[in-house]
């Protein structure tokens, strides 16, 4: 029984050390803003995942069609460095932030819960459009 006790304590200790050393990332899938689930759901990443990834898409879903109402789609997850580099390279040509085009961007970071913020928050993006439109109107009237 003494040996069994030592074995159980050792296993418990190893599990505790492993869970403490694993990366933690915020996780969500295709949410329309960086709030709610995207800021409250945290995943303990598997050991092979060494990065937290954030993807932001602007467009129509699921069929990405011209003329449809556009909105943000935010996804966060645990990822490997290789996957992050692959996705960032894939999305780079489409990461334009042009409001009338569909676009996708991806960003990765290393560190517990480092993907709290996103590349372009929906509220900030919409708010920054108002001064630009007012300036354009002012220039047009001038």
Instruction: Determine the structural domain holding residue 92 and report its residue range.
Output: 22-141
Say if pTM beats, i.e. exceeds, 0.85: no
In a domain, 8, yes or no: no
In a domain, 5, yes or no: no
Query: Which pLDDT score, from 0 to 100, does residue 66 have?
Result: 65
In a domain, 94, yes or no: yes
In a domain, 3, yes or no: no
Into how many domains does the chain fold? 1
What is the Cα–Cα distance from 70 to 102, expressed in whole angstroms?
8
Residue 29 belongs to a domain with what CATH number? 2.10.60.10
Q: pLDDT tens, position by position, for the chain (142 residues)? A: 666 566 556 555 554 444 456 999 999 999 999 999 999 999 999 999 999 999 999 988 666 566 678 899 999 999 999 999 999 999 999 899 998 888 999 999 999 999 999 865 333 344 345 555 555 665 666 6
Give, for 84, the enclosing helix (H) or strand (E). helix 81-91
In a domain, 39, yes or no: yes
């Amino acid at each position: 029984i003494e040996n069994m006790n030592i074995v159980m304590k050792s296993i418990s200790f190893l599990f505790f050390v492993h869970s403490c050393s694993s990366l933690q990332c915020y996780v969500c899938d295709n949410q329309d803003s960086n709030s709610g689930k995207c800021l409250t759901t945290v995943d303990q990443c598997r050991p092979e995942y060494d990065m937290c990834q954030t993807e932001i898409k602007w467009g129509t879903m699921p069929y990405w069609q011209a003329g449809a109402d556009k909105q943000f789609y935010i996804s966060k997850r645990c990822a490997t460095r290789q996957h992050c580099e692959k996705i960032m390279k894939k999305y780079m040509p489409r990461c334009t932030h042009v409001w009338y085009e569909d676009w996708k961007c991806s960003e990765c970071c290393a560190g517990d819960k480092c993907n709290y913020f996103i590349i372009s928050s929906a509220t900030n993006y919409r708010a920054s459009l108002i001064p630009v439109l007012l300036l354009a109107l002012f220039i047009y009237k001038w």
